[in-house]
Structure 1
Amino acid sequence: MFGKKKQPPIKSLIAPGSCIEGKLTFTDGLRIDGEVVGDIRADESSPSILVISESAIVTGLVQADHVIINGRVNGPVHATELLELQPKARIEGEVSYKALEMHQGAVISGQLRPILHQALAEIQPAAPQALEDKPVLKLAGKKHG
C-alpha cells in the first residue's frame, strides 16, 4: 500500500503539553506529540498514517494503516499495513501488523501477531498442514538434467 504510492498528508497534530481524553477518530494523517487517554482509530475509508512521537504517551487502542511509534503506547496496536517501531518506542499490549519494521532499542511487552497468520488461523484451522504442502522451490542458477 505504501510502497511507491504517496502517503496521506498529516493534517492533524496533538501538540506537546496537550492531553486529550476520549475516543479519537481521524482521516489521512495524525501526529501525536502530547498525551491521549482513549482509543485512536483511523477512518477506514481512506489510507491513513499515525505518528506517535518520542514525547507522546497513548493509553488505549491504536489503529491505522501505517503506524510509526517512537513514544509510549499502553494498549493494543493494530497496523493494517505497516508498523514502524523507532528506537525509543515502548509498547505494553498486543501488537498486530501486516508488515513490521523494528529498530534496535524498541521494546514490546506483549504478543506480536502478523495479520496474515491471524487470517489464516481464522479461515483455515488446518493452516500448518497447508503450509507443508507448498511445492519445493528450485534455484534459478542451478542447471538440472
Structure 2
Amino acid sequence: MFGSKKQPSIRSLIGEGTTVQGTLRFGDGLRIDGEVQGDVVANPDDTSILVISDKAKVVGTVKAGHVIINGTVIGPVESNHLLELQPKARIQGDVRYESLEMHQGATIEGALQRISPASGGTAIEDKPALKLLAANDKK
C-alpha cells in the first residue's frame, strides 16, 4: 500500500532553538526540531513527509501526506496517507488520518476521525476502523 510510492526526501529543516512565526508551506519533506507558531501545510499536489521531532513544538494546524510526530502539536492534525505517533507525541487537537500507527506513550487530547482516500478526504463515520476479537470469542 505505502511501498508503491517513493518517499520524498527531507529537504528543509527548522533547527533546534529556532522559532518560526506564520504559516509554513512546503513540498517534499520537512523536519522540525524547533518551534513553529503557525500552520504547517504541505503542498496538496505533492507527495509529502513531515517529521516533528521530540524537541519540536507546533502551535497551529498540521497538514501533510505522511506525518511523523514525536513532539508536541497544539492544534488539529490531518494526514491523508499515514500518521505515525511516536512514544513522546503529544497532540492537543482533533486528528484526521487515513492510516494511523500509534506507539505506547503517545497521547491525543481530541477527537480521532478516519478519512477515506477514495472519497477525497471525507470522514468515515458509519463503520468502525478496527474491530478486536478476543481469543475466547472465536467460534
TM class, shorter-length: 0.7 to 0.9
Distance 1:12 1:62 in 2: 16
Mapped pair 1:57 → 2:82? no
CA-CA distance at 1:120 after TM superposition: 4.5
CA-CA distance at 1:109 after TM superposition: 0.3
State the TM-score, normalized to the length of structure 2: 0.84
Letter in 1 for 2:17: G
Letter in 2 for 1:69: I
Letter in 2 for 1:33: D
CA-CA distance at 1:118 after TM superposition: 4.3
Determine the structure 2 residue equivalent to 1:110.
110
Determine the structure 1 residue equivalent to 2:88.
88
Whether the aligned pair in 1 keeps the contact of 2:114 and 2:124 (CA below 8 Å) is no
CA-CA distance at 1:44 after TM superposition: 1.0
Q: Flag structure 1 segments of 5+ consecutive residues without an equivalent.
A: 122-126, 132-145
Determine the structure 2 residue equivalent to 1:36.
36
* Misfit runs of 4+, over 4 Å: none
Distance 1:119 1:90 in 2: 23
State the TM-score, normalized to the length of structure 1: 0.80
Distance 2:38 2:61 in 1: 7
Q: Which has the higher helix share?
A: 1
CA-CA distance at 1:33 after TM superposition: 0.1
Q: Which has the larger radius of gyration?
A: 1
CA-CA distance at 1:5 after TM superposition: 2.8
Q: Identity, % of aligned pairs?
A: 59
Distance 2:108 2:89 in 1: 8
Mapped pair 1:98 → 2:98? yes
CA-CA distance at 1:70 after TM superposition: 0.1
Moved more, 112-121 or 8-17: 112-121
Determine the structure 1 residue equivalent to 2:27.
27
CA-CA distance at 1:4 after TM superposition: 3.9
Distance 1:40 1:61 in 2: 6
Determine the structure 1 residue equivalent to 2:132.
none
CA-CA distance at 1:6 after TM superposition: 1.9
Distance 1:50 1:119 in 2: 22
Determine the structure 1 residue equivalent to 2:74.
74
